[in-house]
Amino acid sequence: MSHTAHIRSHRKPRNRSASTIAMRAGVAGGVLSTLAVAGASAASADAAEPATQTLELPTLTADVATQVAQSAAATQQAAANYQLQVERDAAAANAAKQAKADLAEAKKKEAEAKRKAEAERKQAEAASRSAERTVLAAATSTSTGSSTATGSAAAVVAFVKAQIGKAYVSGATGPSAYDCSGLVQTAFKQVGINLPRVSQDQSTAGTQVSLSNLQPGDILYWGGAGSAYHVAVYVGDGMFVGAQNPSSGVGEHPLSYDPPSGAVRVL
């Protein structure tokens, strides 16, 4: 037997009466009943109403707010730039349209001015030819004393008349074909006079004479003196002989057929 078996405990024995135990049991039962009722109520509520879930949005920090503000500013600037570009494109389109209209108007005015100038030129040429014909007609009527060729002039006239009907060939000087200056040069060779080969030089080879004072054997020219493009020989009575062109060859024509610009006399 232990030596401590007879030492009594210092704790006082608890006196639990039946009433105390019953009270505690009732309280416990009530709590459990309350919990059961609450659980049933919660279950009913859960069955009656659908469960909802609440999402919490994150709170914007200062950096995120700054980025949002910068993005908004960039978007606004881009929109402004786009609007400016649209306005520039519209202005450029309007300017191009106006330029096209102005160009068309300018071309129209230019064409009208050219038509007017051409009409005036033709009118002036017609008036000049009319005046030349008048002068030539007067020359023909007053040159009866000089219509008959004599001496060297008669030989030149006889030669060119003898070539009538022959062909016109550029560069030809006879005997079967001639060009205009080739005929004149060859005709004057018959009387010992050596003329330049081309019409430009032949138009300044002698003394300039008026178309109203022509004599047989005078050299007629068309164009300016020194820049003539055609020559022929005056044969009297208002007529001339010349190698005109490939279609007509060497022929005799009145001065009014193609009024000359001037004349030179070498005989």
| Residue ranges of domains in the chain | 143-265
234: which DSSP letter?
E
User: Can you name the residues that pair with 178 across neighbouring β-strands?
Assistant: 168, 173
- Report which residue type is found at 68: V
- Residue pair 237/140 in contact (Cβ under 8 Å)? The answer is yes
At 208-262, the pLDDT tens digits run 999 999 999 999 999 999 999 999 999 999 999 999 999 999 999 999 999 999 9
At 4-22, the pLDDT tens digits run 445 454 455 555 554 554 4
Assigned superfamily of 143-265? endopeptidase domain like (from Nostoc punctiforme) (3.90.1720.10)
- pTM comes to 0.50
For the packed helices 180-189 and 151-162, what is the interaxial angle rounded to 10 degrees?
140
Which comes out higher in pLDDT, residue 129 or 216?
216
Residue with tokens 């908004």: 72
The three-point CA angle 164-160-188 to 5° equals 155
